[in-house]
């Protein structure tokens, strides 16, 4: 089984003010993330505005990421989920050709009533059978409206090419059951505030929007946990809770991109129909960043 343990930001997609990809800004951001205490990046994920990207844009983003990461010792995990099994397989094969170390696969979700556990298991098994790279499941019911039941995890964990899951439901009870049955299954916290609780169960890291903005406190949680310093791990975990909630649940991608701009990396505009952060939200994030002692760009 490929070991993917570590901390990864599902990186934002930089856009220009006329809605095009800002690839030069992506390169500058990647240089920042490569120099940070991270183990790679995920592109695209929910924070990448993935549902707003064309197939061609996704491939171009992978090319840029793969080119900059290939000699860095950091991994590219490619988001390849699509509404059909065939398109998911095709995207996974393209990502592998470009150098992705693994794929994070969002489930199809439009025809929810028909997407029974049997349908999802059949879909993921077909993708994994065809995938040349390890597969991570992606459970994010807040966006898909589909929350994987334990039976899905228990079945798919047996597939040799399905190596783990990013769980954004933060359901520690469900993940405890999965890890009790399959302790080698690689579980990743899907949000910054769940990192320590998940690691206490055996999770191997996190794929977290907050890591776009500040990776140091997240790395401090991991290091303190492995050193057995639970008091320090808890302190660092609690220190990021308010900012994590703000740039994920409360303000979403617009809030995350604003926070990136304020700490000196490129966030830029969201893609329409999303709206930019309003003045109250900007002031709130400024306050939360200052509380963490982060340098705020003018």
Contact 147, 139 (CB under 8 A): yes
**pTM for the whole structure:** 0.97
Count other C-beta atoms under 10 Å from residue 27's C-beta. Answer: 15
Q: Which DSSP string corresponds to 158-189?
A: TSTTEEEEEE-S--HHHHHHHHHH-TTSEEEE
At 163 the pLDDT is: 98
What CA–CA distance (Å, rounded) separates 131 from 110?
23
**pLDDT tens track, the chain, 298 positions:** 679 999 999 999 999 999 999 999 999 999 999 999 999 999 999 999 999 999 999 999 999 999 999 999 999 999 999 999 999 999 999 999 999 999 999 999 999 999 999 999 999 999 999 999 999 999 999 999 999 999 999 999 999 999 999 999 999 999 999 999 999 999 999 999 999 999 999 999 999 999 999 999 999 999 999 999 999 999 999 999 999 999 999 999 999 999 999 999 999 999 999 999 999 999 999 999 999 998 776 5
At 295 the pLDDT is: 72
At 273 the pLDDT is: 97
At 298 the pLDDT is: 58
Overall CATH class of domain 6-214: alpha beta
**Helices 252-262 + 279-291 axis angle, to 10:** 50
Phi, psi angle pair for 231, to nearest 5°: -65, -45
Those residues with Cβ within 8 angstroms of residue 69's Cβ, 6 or more apart along the chain or in another chain:
30, 34, 40, 41, 75, 76, 99
What are the domain boundaries of the chain? 6-214
Q: Which DSSP string corresponds to 224-283?
A: HHHTT-HHHHHHHHHHTHHHHHIIIIITHHHHHHHHHHHTTS---PPPTTS----HHHHH
Which positions are catalytic? 166
Percent of the chain scored above 90 by pLDDT? 97
At 296 the pLDDT is: 75
Looking only at the bridges linking them, the beta strands covering 162-167 and 186-189 are parallel
Mind listing the pLDDT tens digit for each residue in 167-225? 999 999 999 999 999 999 999 999 999 999 999 999 999 999 999 999 999 999 999 99
Residue in 218, 204, 62 with CA at minimum distance from that of residue 133: 62
């Amino acid at each position: 089984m490929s070991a993917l343990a570590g901390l990864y930001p599902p990186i934002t997609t930089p856009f220009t003010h006329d809605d095009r990809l800002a690839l030069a800004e992506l390169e500058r951001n990647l240089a920042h993330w490569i120099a940070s205490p991270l183990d790679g990046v995920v592109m695209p994920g929910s924070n990448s505005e993935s549902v707003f990207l064309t197939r061609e844009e996704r491939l171009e983003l992978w090319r840029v990421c793969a080119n900059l990461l290939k000699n860095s010792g950091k991994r590219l995990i490619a988001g390849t989920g699509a509404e059909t099994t065939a398109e998911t397989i095709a995207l996974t094969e393209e990502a592998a050709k470009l150098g992705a170390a693994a794929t994070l696969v969002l489930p199809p979700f439009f025809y929810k009533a028909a997407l029974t556990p049997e349908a999802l298991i059949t879909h993921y098994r077909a993708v994994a059978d065809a995938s040349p790279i390890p597969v991570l499941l992606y459970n994010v019911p807040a966006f898909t409206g589909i929350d994987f039941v334990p039976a899905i995890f228990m079945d798919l964990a047996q597939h040799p090419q399905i190596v783990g899951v990013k769980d954004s439901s933060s359901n520690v009870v469900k993940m405890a059951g999965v890890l009790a049955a399959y302790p080698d299954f690689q579980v990743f916290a899907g949000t910054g505030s769940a990192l320590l609780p998940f690691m206490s169960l055996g999770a191997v890291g996190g794929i977290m929007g907050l890591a776009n903005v500040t990776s140091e406190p997240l790395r401090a949680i991991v290091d303190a946990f492995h050193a057995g310093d639970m008091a320090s791990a808890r302190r660092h975990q609690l220190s990021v809770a308010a900012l994590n909630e703000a740039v994920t649940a409360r303000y979403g991608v617009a809030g995350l991109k604003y926070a990136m701009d304020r700490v000196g990396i490129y966030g830029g505009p969201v893609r329409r129909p999303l709206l930019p952060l309003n003045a109250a939200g900007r002031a709130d994030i400024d306050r939360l960043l200052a509380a963490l002692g982060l340098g705020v760009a003018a």
